Amino acid sequence: MAAHTQEEKIENIALPNATSLRRKTYLSALTTSACLFGGMLAALSTAIAVSNLPMHVPEQTINLFAVGLLIGILFVSGALWGRTLARIFASTNQRRMISAGALSFAPALVLAGLMLATLERAIVERGQGPDLPVHQVFTLLFVPATFLVAATGGLALGLAERNLSLGLHLAAGGGLSAALAFLLIDLLMDGLGWRVGSPGAAERATMLTVMMAGNLAAAFFGGGTIGFLLSRHFKKTRDQ
């Protein structure tokens, strides 16, 4: 009888823990999608809208202002991501998490964008690379770029918790999950007829559509993996 009672107690403890782990994983996935993907979408939309305003100022000035807004929105989005994750996991390093989110997301995304633009011009426009179809070049460029952005965010969060080992785990787990999610969406949409660089692709904005769908999946699954690993870390820390 005592053995049965003990087993019931263990089950009752394990069930809330499992539920909490699952809940925080989903919350992290949704938070990352809303803050980072949503922030990227808002930043791009704002920059495009501002650069097309009928303003009586030099075009270079308008473009510079648009870029400034884009980067500013990305910093705010990253900071909001870090703050929300800190609240989800009740971190005692909230300010460091906010700084980590802001200082990782915006620079990593801007750096990835510059690298993609440079490599795309060199490979596609000038032919200074492997002779591959456009859709394969797209995959080879965007999947590693997705890994870079997600891994940078994960590493920053771990460092915010003053734990390099945690940061490396978050970088590897979040980066690989995000990159794999982007790759799967890319392959799925390619199979459904949304092939980047195919005839009529420009009219359907295929590249933009695939990129946005892939980024949303990357944010969700990368953020979910980071949330899962953070949940395990904080549970282990508080149980000690």
**How confident is the model over 40-77, as pLDDT tens digits?**
999 999 999 988 888 777 878 888 999 999 999 999 99
Predicted pLDDT of residue 210 = 95
Predicted pLDDT of residue 132 = 81
Q: Is 132 helix (H, G, I), strand (E, B) or coil?
A: coil
d(CA 171, CA 154): 4
d(CA 146, CA 181): 9
The predicted-structure confidence for 9-24, as pLDDT tens digits, reads as follows 433 434 346 668 889 9
d(CA 224, CA 163): 20
Predicted pLDDT of residue 59 = 79
What average pLDDT does the segment 178-187 reach? 98
Predicted pLDDT of residue 9 = 42
Predicted pLDDT of residue 215 = 97
**Which one of 18-27, 204-213, 218-227 scores highest in mean pLDDT?**
218-227
Q: Which residue has the higher pLDDT, 122 or 233?
A: 233
What average pLDDT does the segment 194-202 reach? 86
Sign of CA dihedral 105, 38, 121, 180: positive
Predicted pLDDT of residue 237 = 79
d(CA 87, CA 200): 46
What φ, ψ does residue 106 adopt, rounded to 5°? -60, -50
* Amino acid, res. 105: F
Given a cut of 80, whether residue 189 has pLDDT beyond it is yes
Confidence band for 240, pLDDT divided at 50, 70 and 90: low
Predicted pLDDT of residue 91 = 92
Predicted pLDDT of residue 236 = 84
